[in-house]
Structure 1
Amino acid sequence: MRASATGRVLTDPRGGSFRFDAGAVSLDFAHSGGEGPYAIFETLHQPADLADWLAHPPLSAIVTSPVTAEELTEAKALRQAVWVVAHARADRLPLPPASVAAINRAAAAAPLVPELGADGTSVGWATPVRATQALSTLAREMIELLTGPLADRIRECASDNCPLVFVDSSRPNARRWCAMERCGNRHKLRALRARRATDT
């Protein structure tokens, strides 16, 4: 990845939005939609939606040819695999072989190639830029995360009803919530009400 900043604004179809930083672009991608009960959060409805997601920082991969329906299908398969293995690692469970295979399959394609700008201080992606290259880059980042020093810091939000998963890269290794302004504050409010009820 070309930049350290990660995170996206997630929108709840039932109302409200908040900024969620999963700590890795591949994990941000895992939260772009989902299967089963998470299908209501889908944001990648058509190939153009995938192109738009990839074009945003920090990946900033502006594809030079239209994303195909097949690439969208591959993207969703990778997204689901990242979601599954991240939760398995957070729960300290073995990684499901099918999900591992899906990540490896995406990573086997040629990745994005960084290109130094003419000014010698900026960087972009060498053209052509294809969706499969961006997916490979995301898959490779996930492999590095799962096998690197932060692998044991992949965790799920501590809220009872929040499935968001992130990597805690903070120095004190103390992150518990998807976002303080969401689940963190909700926890504080519940704790405050409980204390007041006890005092009463």
Structure 2
Amino acid sequence: MTDQRATGPVPLSPGDARHPFDPGALCLELLTTGGPGTPAGYELLHHPEDLTRWLARSRLELPAGVHVDAAQLTAARTLRDALRRLAAARAHGEAGAGADYAVLNRAAAHPPLVPRIDPNGAAAAPLPADGDQLVSTLARDAIALFTGPFAHRVRECGASDCSLIFVDTSRPGRRRWCSMERCGNRHKVRALRARRDRADGAEPAGQPAPDAGPPLRRGHSAHGGVSPRTDRTFTG
């Protein structure tokens, strides 16, 4: 039986307010930039400046100024790909490969981004900073996730044609979809259509769900504000 998760379309770009997606952790936001397998078709990190642009849209919300060179971009992509495999394994109740955990541990061994505070009491950009510090911060966040109280809540979207991964930080712990406005709504439409078909005594139409729209992008919640921050940023 073919696994549609491995072959279907995988929207992975972060930031579309029409289909808000909050993965629940900083490290999982990195997975929206591409990765091994099908996500490679949605690769966003081609050049060092692509990673700095992603930073501004991430939970870190760092302005321009973090220096990233080609080697550090490669390290970030290597971490992302290992993290993708580990998160997918966790979502399916598997342990993951030791080599991928080794990637996390090596990345976390570097000094992380250093938090700073403005005179007005607000968080300030941790500058000067470079790509090694960023990769370390992402790896430490992943380790905190995989060893913390929400480790058992790392999940993959329940839609057969979506492989976005998130951590369910909701109190009930029953989140199934990357976004209710996208995959959750598509599921409701299909379920309603099936009930109507059964009520009419007809076979389910089996027609495709409405177009999901452009790739998901993190940035705004359903009520128009910024998605809540639930990551452990700048873990030392």
When normalised by structure 1's length, the TM-score is 0.87
Does 31-40 or 171-180 show the bigger shift? 31-40
SS in 1 for 2:19: strand
CA distance in 1, matches of 2:16, 2:132: 24
1:62–1:129 Cα contact (<8 Å) kept: no
Which stretch has the larger CA shift, 123-132 or 82-91?
A: 123-132
* Conservation of the 8 A alpha-carbon contact between 2:29 and 2:58: no
1:100-148 Cα distance to aligned partner (Å, 9 max, x none): 01111111110011112122x1122443211111111111011001000
Contact 2:53/2:64 (<8 A) preserved: no
- Runs of at least 4 residues off by over 4 Å: none
The 8 Å contact of residues 114 and 125 in structure 1, kept in 2 or not, is answered as yes
Deviation (angstroms), 1:10: 5.8
Report the Cα distance in structure 2 between the residues aligned to 1:114 and 1:21, rounded to whole angstroms. 23
Distance across 2 between alignment mates of 1:66 and 1:187? 43
For residue 54 of structure 1, report the CA deviation from its aligned partner.
Answer: 1.5
Where structure 2 has 5 or more consecutive residues not aligned to the other structure, the ranges are 1-12, 201-236
Q: What stretches of structure 1 of length at least 5 have no aligned partner? A: 1-6, 12-16
1:101 corresponds to 2:102: yes
More relative contact order, 1 or 2 (CA 8 Å, 6+ apart): 2
User: Considering only aligned residues, what root-mean-square deviation do their CA atoms show, in Å?
Assistant: 1.9
Match of 1:162? 162
Q: Deviations over 1:133-187 (max 9, x none)?
A: 1111111011001000000111111112211111000011110001011110111
More strand by share: 1
Partner of 2:45: 44
The number of residues matched between the two structures is: 188
Tell whether 2:15 aligns with 1:9: yes
Contact 1:91 1:155 in 2 (8 A): yes
- The amino acid of 1:73's aligned partner reads T
Percent identity, aligned pairs only, is 46
1:55 Cα deviation (Å)?
A: 2.6
Q: 1:80 to 1:9 in 2, by over 3 A?
A: same
Corresponding residue number in structure 2 for 1:184: 184
